[in-house]
Copies of this chain bind each other. A is one copy, B any other.
Amino acid sequence: MLKDQAMSDYTQDSPDGKAPAIVLVAPQLGENIGAAARAMLNCGLTDLRLVSPRDGWPNAKAEAMSSGALAKMPPVQVFDSTAAAIADCSLVLATTARPRDMVKHVYTPRGAMDALRPRTAEGETTALLFGGERSGLHNDDVALAHGVVTVPLNPAFSSLNLGQAVLLLAYEWIMSGDKTAPAQLVTGDSPPAPHEKLEELMIRLENDLAERHFFRSDDMRPSMVRNIRSLLTRTNMTAQEVQTFHGMISALTGKKNPRRSGD
């Protein structure tokens, strides 16, 4: 179940799909544990550890809120202390919104992944600690961690729900290994048109417009043509869209494309 192909695609740069453990210290509401599990699996994380969950474990509300995630993950491990929960971890970062009276490396979520991913990829067991709903992590738990992660939110309203805090860190984890282009034109079955197709469309359009006295004067024509070209070129039309545009012109003029049949 863990070795599901689609998931290992997302963790292929770590040996055997290794990813940080998520450790919830003294969580109170099963709903939040379930939301955390769902967010984890959304982002390819599957090692959930609980320290002294208030309502015990397993928890029916957690299972319901996880939308099936808990059933797809290996069994949640439960511990009596934070130290026991991270006993096998060689790099541990604690999430906390509050500055503490301790000398610590403080990371943004993105910066934390720059620290965690190469170590995790080397095969080390790493972990992210989250405190309970009421008061977050105890200073003694923060002291156990090699560094602190703080999300730079709106300082006037910075309190995050536990499930949401787990989501943000899990999201930065998956993004730190993701290669999706930040922006791309998705064209489906029809590829973007080569220039000659757009050129043919532009010349036809210009001729049809000229015949109908669209260009107010010969002086204005070149700049008007450039403006129309800019508009149409910016769309990066597909071959199919060029055909559709020819069809629209044919419909509006009642005249087929002189260079082609069937439009």
Number of copies: 2
Q: A106 and B153: CB pair below 8 A?
A: no
Q: Considering the complex, which residues of chain A in the window 57-102 have a beta carbon less than 8 Å from any beta carbon of chain B?
A: 67-69, 72, 99, 101-102
Q: B178 and A105: CB pair below 8 A?
A: no
Contacts of A196 in B (CB 8 A): none
Q: How far is the CA of A159 from the CA of B69 in the complex (A)?
A: 11
Q: A114 and B174: CB pair below 8 A?
A: no
**With A157-B72, A161-B35, A188-B101: A152-B168 Cβ-Cβ less than 8 Å:** no
**With A6-B156, A152-B175, A174-B152: A38-B161 Cβ-Cβ less than 8 Å:** yes
Number of interface residues of A (CB under 8 A): 63
Q: B42 and A183: CB pair below 8 A?
A: no
**With A154-B43, A154-B44: A103-B185 Cβ-Cβ less than 8 Å:** yes
Contacts of A168 in B (CB 8 A): 167-168, 171
Q: B154 and A42: CB pair below 8 A?
A: yes
**Counting CB contacts under 8 A, is A190 at the interface?**
yes
**With A101-B188, A167-B168: A115-B154 Cβ-Cβ less than 8 Å:** no
Q: B110 and A7: CB pair below 8 A?
A: no
Contacts of A41 in B (CB 8 A): 154, 157
Q: How far is the CA of A159 from the CA of B181 in the complex (A)?
A: 21
